[in-house]
Structure 1
Amino acid sequence: MHGSEGSDGAHSTPPKDPRSKLFPRVMGSLAIVGVMVGLMIGRLTTPDPSQLQQVEVTNDGLVMWFNNEPKTHGEFVDGSLALLFEAEGKTQNGQLKLGDKGVNWRVRLSDGGLLLSVVAARPLQGEWAGSEVDARWRLEIHLREQ
């Protein structure tokens, strides 16, 4: 081998690649655009998180207003009510009258979302039900003494 001339094709220098070096860049750009479009579509199809908008006190319980239906888990524990909502909102508290006795309620942030606690001096019982009213979710909580 005298030099790097390609006269017989038996040399160590590879032949020049006839393909354009632009092809990998175009494929990379298409991949990035595809990922971005997929992220935008995913963001548009994800529902808005539930938001606690308002808490109203009624004569036998509470009415809670949300922008959409939250996942709810609730139970009576030792005569007090605990409701956990997968929602966002601000902490609130207050009192209501059940008969002539006071009942304390409090909404606070927890690991699973918002936690509503209703406590009275006597054990409580009751039920809750939700429905859609004017494009909002209304949860009515009716309480009574045990």
Structure 2
Amino acid sequence: MHGSEDKDRLHSTPEAYTRPQLMLRVFGSLAIVGVMLGLMLGRLTQPDPVELQQVEVAPDGLLLWFNHEPKLHGEHIEGAVALLFDAQGHAQSGQLQVNQRNVNWRLRLADQGLLLNLVAARPLRGEWGGSKVDGRWRLEIHLREE
């Protein structure tokens, strides 16, 4: 052997493997298709977001109408009532009467959803409960003075 000429390929160095790595491409394509199908199925099975549709003033509180039941957290904070809904909606405000006294309410957007504050000159206590009515969720808030 006098050199590395390519005469009969018996004693020469092997050529570099030039065939494309098809299995790697096949698995990569399958992974991409699987991710895309998973994203599409997840989007189809995701429920509609909870949305506040309407706010009504009741004789001793408020009625809030949602398209689905929202997650709710409520507290009494220094004589005020605060309710946090995991829902979408727009800011609103108004006034209602409890025992012939004014109660101001304000609904505003918060980081976790919608925040409803009910404030009066005297300390308030609130009770709330929801039920499904005509395919929508109705949350009733009843207020009284302490």
CA shift, 1:21, in A, is: 5.6
2:11, 2:60 → 1: CA distance? 96
Structure 1 residue aligned with 2:50: 50
Structure 1 residue aligned with 2:37: 37
Decide whether the 8 Å contact of 2:4 with 2:12 is kept in 1.
no
Runs of at least 4 residues off by over 3 Å:
14-17, 20-27
1:112, 1:15 → 2: CA distance? 57
Percent identity between the two aligned chains? 59
1:15, 1:56 → 2: CA distance? 76
1:72, 1:133 → 2: CA distance? 18
Decide whether aligned partners of structure 1 residues 117 and 2 sit closer, same or farther in structure 2, where only a CA change above 3 A counts: closer
2:115, 2:17 → 1: CA distance? 71
Structure 1 residue aligned with 2:9: 7
Decide whether the 8 Å contact of 1:4 with 1:13 is kept in 2.
no
Structure 2 residue aligned with 1:71: 71
1:115, 1:76 → 2: CA distance? 13
Q: Which moved more, 1:42-51 or 1:97-106?
A: 42-51
1:144 to 2:144 alignment: yes
Structure 2 residue aligned with 1:118: 118
How many residues end up aligned between the 2 structures? 144
Instruction: Flag structure 2 segments of 5+ consecutive residues without an equivalent.
Output: none
Q: Deviations over 1:30-49 (max 9, x none)?
A: 22111110001111222221
Decide whether aligned partners of structure 1 residues 54 and 6 sit closer, same or farther in structure 2, where only a CA change above 3 A counts: farther
What secondary structure is seen at the aligned counterpart in 2 of 1:27?
Answer: helix
CA shift, 1:101, in A, is: 0.7
| TM-score normalized by the length of structure 2 | 0.89
1:70, 1:10 → 2: CA distance? 76
CA shift, 1:4, in A, is: 2.5
Across the aligned residues of Structure 1 and Structure 2, the Cα RMSD in angstroms comes to 1.9
Q: Deviations over 1:68-127 (max 9, x none)?
A: 111110011111100001111000000001121111000001111100000011111120
